[in-house]
Amino acid sequence: MLFNSIEFAIFLPLVFAIYWLLNKHLRWQNLFVVLASYVFYGWWDWRFLILIAFTSFCSWGSGLLINQSPKPKRWLTLNIVVNLLILGVFKYFNFFVGSFCDLFGISNSLVLQVILPVGISFYTFQALSYSIDVYRKRIAPTRDVVAFFAYVSFFPQLVAGPIERATNLLPQFERQRTFNYEEAVDGMRRILWGLFKKIVVADNCATYVDQVWNNYANESGSTLALAAILFAFQIYGDFSGYSDIAIGSAKLFGIRLKDNFLTPYFSRNVAEFWKRWHISLNTWFVDYVYIPLGGSREGRWKTIRNTFVIFLLSGLWHGANWTYVTWGLYHALLFVPLILLGRTKAYSGVATWKQIPQILLTFALVVLGWIIFRAPSISDAWGYICGMFQWGTLRSVYRFFIPSDLYIWPKNILILICICIEWFGRKKPHCLANIENLPLLKCRFLRILLYALAFISILFFRGGLHPFIYFQF
């Protein structure tokens, strides 16, 4: 079930109503969350439910065993192995076998005919974090299997994050939730903003980007550069839009999820970008891989090594393709000068007007990385980048501003609106937060009118239907 679908528009209010009707019975309410989440997830393919139930059960059981057993590490290792084995079989088996066969010129007859379950990387990591946190005594193991299943499968963040931690989400399922008007309104605002970013910004960009990528060898340098920039907005609108809808939907149920994006394209260097982009995944890798490896405490060279490890793993997490690994490697390389110069923590707070040159430079570097990420293969990425810098890019740069250039002008305006709203709201938790404090919007009815008009605008300016990019991960 997609967030931008009619099914979800019916599903969400229905679940909302029943959920709050069960408010006085915590266990039943949690059970209903599990049921609703399984319906949501099973909408793609009911067979995936077996997998998520198994993953949930293993992690829940391992939590109890880690706590009771004299050899807790054994149970933790077992749970990690089981979870990664499932992930490996479904996501990486064909990739590694194929790469091995390509390397040694062997014919590959071991191709597994399996469909990649939607969001498997997300919920596997979420389930893993619980058992690791129990092992590290950061959280007490829960005996409440229903609450744990709700934690792993909570539908707003199930298929594309944010990847939650048991320390934040599980306690929320173990205590009574209360309906909060301000939180619910903020949730609705966040859903609205997420829909705008996905349906208007990302889906409009996607059409142009796909057109250019399908025929990149014959496109001019400026067209390729523009498509690369638009892809940056597509993936941002797509993924952060999803996160906003997830966080907003969760708020309707009295659940607070962690932020996943904090205006990442206003970052002033790559290190800051990674503190603002897909925060839940990056903090996961930092907490469970980078810090156990020594983090930045054991000298610069080990810091560099550890940085390469987490970026390569992060690239691989995104998909079973060398392009993702290369993308991770590219970002690790961008980190090296920052580590050597000691500038990984150079910036705090939000960007100012004076820092726009740094922002643009960082954005350009990130866009270059997105080309590798978007390309079907390394050779395509290289061909695209070469094509972008061919003679004619600068000569025809004026085409950026011509309305007729592949109908991009309306899309540019929409992106511009998005950038402006995000820029002026960059100090807030999300850009539409607390808009009731604006002088013009103090009246409740005016605000509702604004939301209604915004919703209609989303329908009018919607792009073609494109699935969420991060579903494939």
DSSP string, 412-468: HHHHHHHHHHHHHTTTSSSTTTTGGGSGGG-SHHHHHHHHHHHHHHHHHT-------
Tokens encoding 396: 């025809």
**Residue number, 214 or 352, with CB nearest to other proteins:** 214
Nearest-angstrom CA–CA distance, 259 and 165? 12
Q: What residues make contact with other proteins under the rule CB under 8 A? A: 5-6, 20, 179, 181, 184-185, 188, 207, 211, 407, 444-445, 448-449, 451-453, 455-456, 462, 464-465
Task: Report helix, strand or coil for 4.
Answer: coil
d(CA 343, CA 263): 20
What six digits make up the tokens of 223? Answer: 């067209």
What's the token pair of residue 322? 């060398």
Between helix 120-135 and helix 145-153 the angle, nearest 10°, is: 140
Q: Nearer to other proteins by C-beta: 337 or 464?
A: 464
Choose between 253 and 266: whose C-beta lies nearer to other proteins.
253
User: CB of residue 242 vs other proteins: minimum separation in angstroms?
Assistant: 17
Q: What CA–CA distances, in Å, run from 315 to 138, 284, 304, 311?
A: 28, 14, 16, 6
Q: Are 265 and 167 in contact (CB under 8 A)?
A: no
Nearer to other proteins, 17 or 50 (CB): 17
Asked whether the CA dihedral 213, 218, 220, 221 is positive or negative, the reply is positive
Which amino acid, one-letter code, is at 81?
V
Strand (E) or helix (H) holding 301: helix 300-318
Q: Closest CB to other proteins among 67 and 211?
A: 211
Given the residues 318, 331, 430, 466, the one annotated as active site: 318
**Least separation, in Å, of the C-beta of 212 and other proteins?**
12
Which residue, 374 or 466, is less far from other proteins as judged by CB? 466
Question: Could you count the other beta carbons within 10 Å of the beta carbon of residue 410?
Answer: 11
Q: How far apart are CB 435 and other proteins at their closest, in Å?
A: 14
The nearest distance, CB 318 to other proteins, in angstroms, is 25
- Shortest distance, CB of residue 452 to other proteins, whole angstroms? 4
430 is catalytic: no
- Tokens at residue 397, please? 């740069």
Q: How many residues does the chain have?
A: 473
What is the closest distance, in whole angstroms, from the C-beta atom of residue 172 to other proteins in the complex? 19
Q: Which residues does the annotation mark as catalytic?
A: 318
